[in-house]
Structure 1
Amino acid sequence: MHRITVIGGGFAGLTAAITAAEAGAGVTVHEAHHTLGGRARTAEEPYRTNDGPHTLYSGGPHWSWLRQRDLLGPLAPIPPLEAARLRLRHHGVLRRTPPFAMLKLLRQGLQQAPADTDFLSWATRIAGEEGARAAAHYSAVALFHHDPGALSAAFVQERLRRATRLPPAAHHPRGGWASVIDRMAARAWNLGVRMETLSRVDTLPADGPVIVATSLDAARRLLGDTSLTWTGGRTALIDLAVRTRRGDAFAVSDLDAPGWLERFTAQDRSLAPAGEQLIQGQIPIAPHESKGDGTARAEQLLDLAFEGWRERVTWRRESVANGRTGAVDLPGTSWRDRPAVDRGDGVYLVGDQVAAPGVLSEVSFNSALTAVSLALGRHSLDLKRA
């Protein structure tokens, strides 16, 4: 029987562990933290925040995989009245609809954008510079990057389409991502997976295939491989609890600069105590900018969309996510150019910054299935079928 070691107990590591165990392998998961989940952890009550805004996009292979195993659990739908409270900042004021020029980039049948051109240049030829910049900034909800217009046009176009799809492709597990992780951990346990928490691995085990399901920085240190780098975003994160007030926006997208705020309790009241609302936001910041620069821009959006929020605050937290929000592709590159899953000598790399297709967590999922397929020599493992 194959024995597989998985280093990292987040979404990617648990996906790999479940897939390998279902194929008959013996699996041990080592997680350095005292709980599983990685960046998919959800804070304990009273404010059940994620590590930045999290969502699951339907339509990807991970969606059907989770559903087939009853791991997705109940979702928190967005009430129609709340969805109607999406606001867009454009030219410094809030509006309900995007600029007409931006809609040209969302129409059905639009040509596939090229990978070797930056998004702003390509989109400007179709919608003009104003429409192109607005679309680039809106796409930051799925990019976490301070200059989406400078990225590969093909890369940004795919995420823009997913983020603007109607009905919305974004879904939220009720109770936060931890509810999904808990179900995944339970399934792994029932399949016989051995899970070791508070188990930091500094040296690769000598026997059996090893799947490294850590951040790219941690994998680079563990494997001693300086080539394990890729471009990512840097984002100021803000979590805010405020006393409830009628008329607050559901979400605010900044079309003047990249940034997004969302009132997560609009769809899931369990995330905050009664009478309070939980707002989570992400403001991408450039390498020379500070956390304070990002939070100042977040406060400008709050001033526009959440009247009197400063007097209503009951809890607040700020942080910076640096290279922890997935890979971004520069012009002339695609997911195939990222660090390869197969590192040789029975070592496989998975996560959201490696050579696998998909959007956000889908990259982790697809790379996990690829790694297990290679580790077990089961090339018939079909990502689409899974």
Structure 2
Amino acid sequence: MPRTVTVVGGGLAGLTAAIAAAERGADVTLYEAHHDLGGRARTAAAPYRTNEGPHAFLSRSPHWAWLNDRGLIGPLAPFRLSDVSGARFRHHGALRRTPPLGMVRLLGTDADQVPADVDFLSWASWRIGDEAARATAYLTSVVLFHHDPGSLSARFVQERLRRITGFPPEVRYPRGGWQAIVNRMAARARNLGVRTETGARVHTLADARPHDGPVIVATSLAAARALLDDASLTWPSGRTVLVDLALREDPRDAFVLSDLDGPGYVERFTVQDPTLAPKGEHLLQAQFPLAPGAPREDAVARGETLLDLGLPDWRDRVTYRRDALAEGRT
């Protein structure tokens, strides 16, 4: 391990790199342009403790294992199997309690048995028919943030399908939002001697390299492209509208709304963690992917139609709303 390491970016990736380098004896400095660490894992302050879009961990992911090995997970909001009964699926314009039967036939197929050089829709249509294949592809938009998941590699999509539908469920929710994880990672970095400079935007590699040693760039792709002056750092990415919504409670509200007629997902996060919103209110976070060049309003309209189906009279119960467009984040 080099004696000195510089990390640019204080999100989860940057904090992970800083901790890993410091654990191996490096002298680490981390620069973060914002005044707070966390990047896209930051959680808003009370009363509505939103993450940047719907967030959850999957317990068989490599980053979960890395955090768990270091005791950085902390308290989790409970996930009860009974909550699954509150999940609803839009299919053919109506809300249903169960997904298409054909979808279930794919769940037993391991991703290693699926071709990587064929698109998911073509492969799945051969297995279960076009209609069920298209609905299954849209289900995976919850983790892919893509307007057309069926066009992606069959193996890539199938691996994620198996993880989001596995039993027992992999999903895990840090109590208090992801900021709690960020805070524990930041404390771990400080205890290892990492120097953290917040509010310190790095414009050139020379700014980031006061000493000899490697620089780890853990920023958005656009920021990395500018920092490294490398126009080749670009590739297709997801584009999705994020909607945060707080509503006065109604026992009829769905826990999860998954759109199988198009890409879209809504989750009521206060089901697991009531501390995320004031008492008597539900906090929901949603994302609705849209195609490149498509107007944001299209995704908002499609999303509000899904909300109409699963959240009765929601417009009359709104106490907080925030919309945003996330582009080039994946």
- TM-score band by shorter chain is over 0.9
Q: One-letter code of the match for 2:93?
A: G
2:205 matches 1:204: yes
Alignment of 1:113-152 (within 5 A): 113-152=114-153
**Alpha-carbon distance in 1 for matches of 2:318, 2:61:** 37
> What residue in structure 2 maps to residue 186 of structure 1?
187
> SS of the residue aligned with 2:238?
strand
2:298 matches 1:297: no
> What residue in structure 2 maps to residue 80 of structure 1?
81
**Alpha-carbon distance in 1 for matches of 2:107, 2:119:** 17
**Superposed displacement of residue 77, structure 1:** 2.0
> What residue in structure 2 maps to residue 234 of structure 1?
239
- Provide Cα deviations, 1:239-266, integer angstroms capped at 9, x if missing partner: 0000001121000100111100000101
Q: One-letter code of the match for 1:179?
A: A
> SS of the residue aligned with 2:161?
helix
> What residue in structure 1 maps to residue 289 of structure 2?
284
Q: One-letter code of the match for 1:299?
A: E
Alignment of 1:222-261 (within 5 A): 222-261=227-266
In the alignment, is the contact (CA less than 8 A) between 1:239 and 1:281 conserved in 2?
A: yes
> SS of the residue aligned with 2:90?
strand
**Alpha-carbon distance in 2 for matches of 1:111, 1:127:** 18
Moved more, 59-68 or 264-273: 59-68
Moved more, 168-177 or 79-88: 79-88
> SS of the residue aligned with 1:121?
helix
- Provide Cα deviations, 1:133-164, integer angstroms capped at 9, x if missing partner: 01100010110000001111111111111111
TM-score, with length taken from structure 1? 0.82
**Alpha-carbon distance in 2 for matches of 1:69, 1:301:** 40
> What residue in structure 1 maps to residue 268 of structure 2?
263
Q: One-letter code of the match for 1:106?
A: L
Q: CA RMSD in A?
A: 1.2
**Alpha-carbon distance in 2 for matches of 1:28, 1:231:** 31
TM-score, with length taken from structure 2? 0.96
**Superposed displacement of residue 109, structure 1:** 5.5
> What residue in structure 2 maps to residue 219 of structure 1?
224
**Superposed displacement of residue 81, structure 1:** 3.0
Q: One-letter code of the match for 1:212?
A: V
**Alpha-carbon distance in 2 for matches of 1:201, 1:140:** 34
> What residue in structure 1 maps to residue 280 of structure 2?
275
- Provide Cα deviations, 1:196-223, integer angstroms capped at 9, x if missing partner: 0000111113421100000111101100
Alignment of 1:292-371 (within 5 A): 292-324=297-329, 326=330
Assess, with a 3 A threshold, how the Cα gap between structure 1 residues 227 and 110 changes in structure 2: closer, same or farther. Answer: closer
**Alpha-carbon distance in 2 for matches of 1:61, 1:123:** 27
> SS of the residue aligned with 2:47?
coil
- Provide Cα deviations, 1:28-55, integer angstroms capped at 9, x if missing partner: 0000000000000000010000111111
**Alpha-carbon distance in 2 for matches of 1:233, 1:61:** 22
**Alpha-carbon distance in 1 for matches of 2:118, 2:26:** 44
In the alignment, is the contact (CA less than 8 A) between 1:18 and 1:188 conserved in 2?
A: yes
> SS of the residue aligned with 1:67?
helix
In percent, how many aligned pairs have the same letter? 61
> What residue in structure 1 maps to residue 159 of structure 2?
158
**Alpha-carbon distance in 1 for matches of 2:255, 2:246:** 14
> What residue in structure 2 maps to residue 31 of structure 1?
32
In the alignment, is the contact (CA less than 8 A) between 1:291 and 1:319 conserved in 2?
A: no
**Alpha-carbon distance in 1 for matches of 2:105, 2:289:** 25
**Alpha-carbon distance in 2 for matches of 1:185, 1:123:** 43
**Alpha-carbon distance in 1 for matches of 2:62, 2:314:** 40
In the alignment, is the contact (CA less than 8 A) between 1:79 and 1:266 conserved in 2?
A: no
> SS of the residue aligned with 1:82?
helix
